[in-house]
């Protein structure tokens, strides 16, 4: 893991979309494995998402190509429309590009047709030519993450949630993402612990946060009514064996030094589902560890 200690990079605005569906065993979410050649978190499983692009920022355009009037947009996005709508557009666009799922429907007066080609055609053009409006009404609010200051590449990311059909299929783009899978949160966390499904730190924390939700209706009710929580900006603490990721609720978060015994980290790995405030990133895996003292 590359760590930068001086002059923190400015976080790039970005967005992530947690696709969730109801199955007999409970909620499943869609995860994508980033390419081994990715500059950020290579080889890890994440939710669809990425950087905001210039066309996402044209809020005046998108207000006329979504399924909600402006007053309802403000309530759904829980914030200033000109500021928050680009994040929502970026989340939908990135999900279309990375996972092959487009959250959009026909605008009034149009039959609506999903675009056939994605590559090389501006997203605005794809939506306009298809007579489509983005389904902002389906988005719920989950969390706001900011990459640690010590990282060379940083992102200011809003995490949205969208319910999808029980039989919803997605596919990776085989460029930025090389494998996709549906998994319930507990299964994904267990496979991360076993080393077979390596999760990025925000994905791991999010899956842990999703454990209490027994069904999709409960999750949708929560995400449609909550306000955006305070942003999570972890600290990164370099070690001889990898690094510790210290979450804001850790007792050492605001301290000049972090209380950790490197020789005990293997023994301090917590069981899946146990509460945690720090993650140990080592040999391509990120796992929760006990905070001693």
**Closest-CA residue to 159 (of 214, 55, 226, 88):** 88
How far apart are alpha carbons 11 and 233 in whole angstroms?
11
- Contact (CB, 8 A) for 204 and 229: no
Task: Identify the residue with better confidence: 113 or 121.
Answer: 121
Model confidence over 152-171: pLDDT tens digits?
Answer: 999 999 999 999 999 999 99
Per-position DSSP letters for 253-274, written without gaps between them: TTSSS----GGGTTTTBPPTT-
What is the per-residue pLDDT for 2? Answer: 46
* CA 225 to chain CA centroid, nearest Å: 19
Residues 25-43: what's their mean pLDDT?
90
Q: What is the mean pLDDT of the chain?
A: 92
Residues ≥6 apart with Cβ < 8 Å to 271: none
Q: Tell me the CA distances in angstroms from 2 to 40, 253, 275, one per residue in order.
A: 10, 21, 27
Residues 97-114: what's their mean pLDDT?
80
Query: Which CATH architecture group holds 12-228?
Result: Alpha-Beta Complex (3.90)
- Contact (CB, 8 A) for 280 and 287: yes
How far apart are alpha carbons 194 and 283 in whole angstroms?
13
pLDDT confidence of 45, banded at 50, 70, 90? Answer: very high
The domain limits of the chain are 12-228, 234-293
- Contact (CB, 8 A) for 91 and 17: yes
Q: Is the predicted pLDDT of residue 1 greater than 50, yes or no?
A: no
- Contact (CB, 8 A) for 250 and 209: no
Q: Could you say which DSSP state residue 283 is in?
A: T
**Closest-CA residue to 145 (of 9, 4, 282, 13):** 13
What is the per-residue pLDDT for 54? Answer: 97
- Contact (CB, 8 A) for 234 and 223: no
Whose tokens are 């895996």? That residue is 285
**Closest-CA residue to 272 (of 185, 189, 188):** 189
- Kindly provide the residue ranges of all beta strands, DSSP E only, lying in 168-224, ordered along the sequence: 177-183
pLDDT confidence of 120, banded at 50, 70, 90? Answer: confident
What is the per-residue pLDDT for 119? Answer: 65
pLDDT confidence of 79, banded at 50, 70, 90? Answer: very high
> In the chain, pLDDT over 90 holds for what percent of residues?
81
Residues 95-109: what's their mean pLDDT?
89
Residue 223: half-sphere exposure toward Cβ, Cα within 13 Å: 27
Angle in degrees, 0-180, between the axes of helices 70-77 and 81-99, rounded to the nearest 10: 70
Model confidence over 221-270: pLDDT tens digits?
Answer: 999 999 999 999 999 999 998 999 999 999 999 999 888 889 999 999 99
Residues 52-79: what's their mean pLDDT?
96
What is the per-residue pLDDT for 110? Answer: 57
What is the per-residue pLDDT for 42? Answer: 85
How far apart are alpha carbons 79 and 289 in whole angstroms?
35
Task: Identify the residue with better confidence: 270 or 119.
Answer: 270
Q: Is the predicted pLDDT of residue 6 greater than 70, yes or no?
A: no
What is the per-residue pLDDT for 174? Answer: 87
Q: Is the predicted pLDDT of residue 278 greater than 60, yes or no?
A: yes
Residues 114-132: what's their mean pLDDT?
80
């Amino acid at each position: 893991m590359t760590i930068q200690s001086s002059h923190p990079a400015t976080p790039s605005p970005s967005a992530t979309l947690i696709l969730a569906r109801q199955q007999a065993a409970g909620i499943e979410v869609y995860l994508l494995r980033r390419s081994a050649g990715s500059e950020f978190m290579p080889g890890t499983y994440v939710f669809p998402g990425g950087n905001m692009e210039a066309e996402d920022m044209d809020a005046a355009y998108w207000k006329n190509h979504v399924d909600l009037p402006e007053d309802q947009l403000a309530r759904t996005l829980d914030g200033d429309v000109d500021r928050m709508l680009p994040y929502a557009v970026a989340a939908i666009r990135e999900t279309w590009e990375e996972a092959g799922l487009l959250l959009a429907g026909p605008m009034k007066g149009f039959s609506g047709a999903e675009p056939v080609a994605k590559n090389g055609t501006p997203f605005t053009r794809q939506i306009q030519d298809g007579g489509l409006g983005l389904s902002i009404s389906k988005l719920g609010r989950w969390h706001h993450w900011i990459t640690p200051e010590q990282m060379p590449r940083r992102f200011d990311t809003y995490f949205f949630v969208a319910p999808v059909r029980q039989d919803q299929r997605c596919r990776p783009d085989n460029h930025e993402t090389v494998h996709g899978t549906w998994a319930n949160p507990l299964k994904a966390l267990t496979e991360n612990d076993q080393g077979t499904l390596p999760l990025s730190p925000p994905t791991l924390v999010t899956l842990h946060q999703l454990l209490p939700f027994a069904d999709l209706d409960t999750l949708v009710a929560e995400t449609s009514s909550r306000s955006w929580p305070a942003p999570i900006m972890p600290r990164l603490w370099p070690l001889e064996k990898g690094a510790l990721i210290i979450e804001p609720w850790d007792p050492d978060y605001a301290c000049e030094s972090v209380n950790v015994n490197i020789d005990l980290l293997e023994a301090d790995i917590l069981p899946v589902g146990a509460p945690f405030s720090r993650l140990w990133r080592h040999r391509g895996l990120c796992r929760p560890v006990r905070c001693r003292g």
